[in-house]
């Protein structure tokens, strides 16, 4: 990659995209023709209290993924409960229950 100066405004925009939009550093680096390490350096310099912006962005992405998984698990549980209710209404024994 060729070296070129990135203005402070563009750096701030890049940092905000990583922090707020959860876009990968690799993707942003490719878009702007810069190295991943440059962005990591900028993020490392932008420390807010005990948590760096990089760590905050990572935690937000992780939180989004966990919320997605909880949603999927909730849907699966709801579907299983509905199937179980239908079986008991139809007089079929539920799986794992004694037939007596």
pLDDT band of residue 52 (cuts 50, 70, 90) is: confident
Which stretches does DSSP call E strand in the chain?
A: 47-48, 51-52
Query: Is the pLDDT confidence value at 90 over 60?
Result: yes
Tally of domains within the chain: 1
pLDDT tens digits for 36-50? 899 888 887 765 556
Would you say residue 47 lies in a domain? yes
Query: How many CB atoms within 10 Å of residue 60?
Result: 15
- Does the residue 79 lie in any domain? no
Do the domain assignments include residue 38?
A: yes
Residues 55, 1, 30: CA angle, nearest 5 degrees: 50
Global pTM exceeds 0.85? no
Alpha-helical runs (H) found in 2-52: 8-16, 25-32, 36-45
Residue 94 lies in a domain: no
Which of 19-28, 61-70, 75-84 is the least confident region? 19-28
The whole domain housing 53 covers 8-73
In a domain? residue 12: yes
Reading the block at residue 29, the tokens are 């680096």
Beta bridge partners of 47: 52
With cut-offs at 50, 70 and 90, classify the pLDDT of residue 99: low
* Between 63 and 43, residue with greater pLDDT: 63
């Amino acid at each position: 990659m060729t070296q070129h100066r990135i203005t402070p405004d563009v750096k701030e925009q890049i940092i905000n995209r990583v922090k707020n939009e959860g876009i990968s550093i690799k993707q942003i680096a490719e878009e702007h023709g810069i190295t991943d390490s440059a962005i990591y350096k900028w993020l490392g310099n932008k420390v807010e209290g005990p948590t760096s912006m990089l760590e905050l962005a990572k935690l937000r992405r992780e939180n989004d993924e966990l919320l997605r998984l909880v949603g999927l698990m909730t849907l699966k549980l709801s579907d299983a409960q509905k199937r179980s209710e239908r079986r008991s209404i139809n007089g079929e024994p539920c799986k794992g229950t004694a037939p007596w």
